[in-house]
Amino acid sequence: MSRATGAGPVHATWEPRPAGRWEDAFLTGNGHHGALVFGDPVDDRIVVTQHTLVRPNGGEHARPPRLAARLASLQDRLLAGDRTAAETFTDGRPLQWVQPFHPAFGIRLRRTGDDGGHPYRRSVDFGTGEVTAHRGSWTSRVFVSRADDVIVQRVADTRLTLGIALDHRLPGAPAGLGVGHGALLTPEGALLSQRVRYPDSDRAYTGVTLLAVTGGDTELLPPGARITGARSVLLLTRVRRHTGDLDVTAEARAPRDLLTGPRPYDRLLDRHLALHRTAYRRVSLDLAADPAERALPGSALLGRPRSPALLERLFAAGRYHLLSASGLLPPRLTGLWTGDWRTAWSGAFTTNANLNLQTACAPAAALPEVTEALAALIDRQLPDWRVNARTVFGTRGAVAPSHTDGESGLTYHFSRAYPLHLWTAGADWLLKPLVDQEETSGEHDPRTAAALDEIALFYEDFLTRTDGGGHLVVVPSYSPENRPANASWGTLNAAMDLSAARHALHTAARRHPQRAAKLRALADRLPPHRVNSDGALAEWAWPGLDDSYDHRHLSHLYAVWPLDEINPYDTPDLAAAAHRALELRGTENDSAHGHLHHALIAARLRDAERVAAALARVLDGDFFHASLMSAHYPNRDVYNADAAHALPAVLIEALVQSTPHRLVLLPALPAHCPRGELRGVRTRFGATVDLGWDPHGARAVLRPSRTVRIDLRTSSGARPLDLVAGEDRVLTLGAR
């Protein structure tokens, strides 16, 4: 078997012109602050974002509906055959969106001078997080420090004349914002600030930008400053959300402290690289692409949807953007970035597919920074999850919301067509990457254990109704965001709810031996999945509920992916039924998350052709901006991070799959990737895998950190494999 050849994939992307739209601006971030960089030599813009910036809209005061006293009556009606009973299980409120995410402001840099006769290049280096642009003698370099939590920009020229201002006037900014500007001369150069207060609220946020000027003169031109004849200007920017007033001078002390010593930009970059580069380099994908295609700008490469070079770059960009968006919080629907106050779906964390797909690759792709951000969000919101369980269902334990702004974890976003307050499987799905991370690392997180305890308590109290055969019934039950063809949305025994309950109870049982027997007994009383008359795994296991196939969500195949409940090895008959359900599933409105969710399930079912077809629908559909951030719909409609962040998970699942006791190599390799190398992937049995393949065979190197016996699955069949901690194991596989 030959190794992937060539100089290797390009861990960057570039464009030959500045961004004309904020969607095409290159992205950098540290999980707290983000920046969208346009890179214009004459009139440059950087849009500044910060994860906690959400606009008050009433959601900050919303509470879950008090429905617990009516639950028993609803259950009686549904069990008696009333298929519309859940439509009245509400307190009559109108749909309330969570508080919308929005940009902070733009940094505007207007430069005097024209280098129009010189070539231009704008690039982002995934390994450093640095966005650069240059033309002639002018250069701009920007990154967001993971070490010091500050946006850092350095602009240089032979003789730099520059006007700098903070500008809140971004698309969709609401009327009535209370905006105040400040500008002070400082020993370094100047301090610019902008305070923005939301309409009819005491909440506000303040941004400060400290200018350190080398050479030349600095004068204030409120609300900004003008730099004349300088060699370079270093800008350090931070945003703070607050109530009341904020001492701008005190807020600037920390950035000022970062300027001590020579060459502050390089020193700050080195501190950042120790964290960012280390994380980014853990995993890489090389598909032996054509070097000429690897050299293309991203926008040109997107025009070659079957190019291995495109998959290489999107894999690299996806891990980069996922890492950059994760820190204080995991990624939103838009990651950490937006240039418009009118963010679709409030720029929320949507937990019935989107956040789950975005974070799916984190354990295998060696990004514990992402699972840590998710764990922190869950831990902060767990008290609200308890309120949801008590208020809506009258139980102990915890129920996660389908939407959150990152601030409140209360369930209040629901409507007749989207009765999201009935959905009880969310906590299990959110915790799945954290359980996978524990299995991967061998380290247990007490926050995950606490959340699992709460979910188990919920099911102990909630699963009280039974059917004629003595099986427990999940009632009410909801399959996001679909409904049966012959019933309303709120029903009984959605396949996802059954799988989530089983998984949560068994997972909690493994961690609590003293309660294990009780939890497993409860799980064992849940009914089996149902196969419908089409031979497909039914979306609702309750007899008489007919499937609706044309839908973007694939909630009913939760047992296949991300769970391991249904698989071709242990449950081949159910796997065949799941595959039939996947074949019958339509694409509805062509949402990117639906296509890639389809691909992930197909990979688990070893269907390489279906994986390739789902990828092709995204790559042919013009879902990616020049920034390599994605859109929700074809033709780059609605900025959205689902595809960008989920695509690495699809490629990993097509090449390497693992459970605590199984390794599957090359289960669903797309035909247009005949050779390559995937390095550094983590497995759930505690080993790192480097995998290389070509048409003649494959070679895998396993580096286990634990001693374990696993079931090895390849195209040649199955065999047991003993691994010893600290001893590399080399596997050579024949031609596929």
Nearest Cα to 160, choosing from 48, 267, 44? 44
Instruction: Give me the percent of the chain exceeding a pLDDT of 70.
Output: 99
Segment 210-239 shows an average pLDDT of: 96
In whole angstroms, how far apart are CA 217 and each of 211, 220, 539?
12, 10, 69
Q: What is the SS3 assignment for 291-330?
A: HHHHCCCHHHHCCCCCCHHHHHHHHHHHHHHHHHHCCCCC
At residue 351, the 3 state secondary structure works out as coil
Whole-angstrom distance, CA of residue 298 vs CA of residue 301 = 5
Q: Give the pLDDT of residue 736.
A: 60
pLDDT band at 145 (very low <50, low <70, confident <90, very high): very high
pLDDT, residue 489, reads 96
In the chain, the percentage of residues whose pLDDT exceeds 90 is: 95
Q: Give the angle subtended at the CA of 350 by the CAs of 345 and 351, to the nearest 5°.
A: 165
**pLDDT higher than threshold 50 for residue 674:** yes
**Residue type, position 423, single letter:** W
pLDDT of 394: 98
Q: Which of 398, 480, 387 is nearest to 431 (CA)?
A: 398
- Give 686's contacts (C-beta < 8 A, 6+ positions apart): 439, 440, 441, 442, 704, 705, 706, 708, 725
Question: How far is it, in rounded angstroms, from Cα 141 to Cα 518?
Answer: 59
The neighbouring-strand residues paired with 162 are: 111, 227
Does a cis peptide bond (omega within 30 degrees of 0) precede residue 262?
no
- Mean pLDDT within 138-142: 97
**Model confidence over 406-461: pLDDT tens digits?**
999 999 999 999 999 999 999 999 999 999 999 999 999 999 999 999 999 999 99
Judge contact between 330 and 646, C-beta under 8 A: no
With a cut of 60, say whether residue 1 has pLDDT above it: no
- Rounded-to-integer distance, Cα 233 and Cα 162, Å: 9
Q: Count other Cβ atoms within 10 Å, centred on residue 109.
A: 24
Question: Per-residue pLDDT averaged across 159-178, rounded?
Answer: 95
> What's residue 7's pLDDT?
75
The stretch 483-489 carries a mean pLDDT of: 97
Contacts of 379 by beta carbon, 8 Å cutoff, 6+ apart: 447, 450, 451
Token pair 């699809």 in the structure block, residue: 650
- pLDDT tens digit string along 447-475? 999 999 999 999 999 999 999 999 999 99
pTM of this structure = 0.97
Strands 217-221 and 717-723: unpaired
Q: What's the rounded Cα separation, in Å, for the pair 669 and 666?
A: 6
pLDDT band at 4 (very low <50, low <70, confident <90, very high): very low
What are 267-304's pLDDT values in tens digits?
Answer: 999 999 999 999 999 999 999 999 999 999 999 999 99
pLDDT tens readout for residues 27-56 = 999 999 999 999 999 999 999 999 999 999
Q: How far is CA 514 from the centre of its chain?
A: 36
Cα distance between residue 36 and residue 336, in whole Å: 10
**Phi, psi dihedrals of residue 474, rounded to the nearest 5°:** -85, 105
Alpha helices (H) in 585-685, listed in sequence order? 592-604, 608-620, 642-655
What are the φ/ψ torsions at residue 43 (nearest 5 degrees)?
A: -135, 80
Q: Please answer whether residues 468 and 527 qualify as being in contact, where contact means their C-beta atoms are separated by less than 8 angstroms.
A: no
pLDDT at residue 229, as a whole number: 96
Residue 549 in this model has a pLDDT that exceeds 70: yes
Is residue 512 very low, low, confident or very high in pLDDT (cuts 50, 70, 90)?
confident
Q: Quick one: pLDDT band at residue 383, thresholds 50, 70, 90?
A: very high
Give the pLDDT confidence score for residue 441 in this predicted structure: 98
Give the pLDDT score at 116: 74
What are 552-610's pLDDT values in tens digits? 999 999 999 999 999 999 999 999 999 999 999 999 999 999 999 999 999 999 999 99
Map out the domains of the chain with their CATH numbers.
12-53+100-284 (2.70.98.50), 60-96+327-646 (1.50.10.10), 677-733 (no CATH)
pLDDT of residue 3: 46
Q: How many whole angstroms separate alpha carbon 554 and alpha carbon 329? A: 26
Half-sphere exposure of 256 (CA within 13 A, CB side): 14
Q: Return the half-sphere exposure (C-beta side, CA atoms, 13 A cut-off) of residue 727.
A: 8
**Sign of the torsion angle spanned by Cα atoms 267, 268, 271, 275:** negative
Q: Region 2-6: what's the mean pLDDT?
A: 47
Structure confidence by residue, pLDDT tens digits, 321-353: 999 999 999 999 999 999 999 999 999 999 999
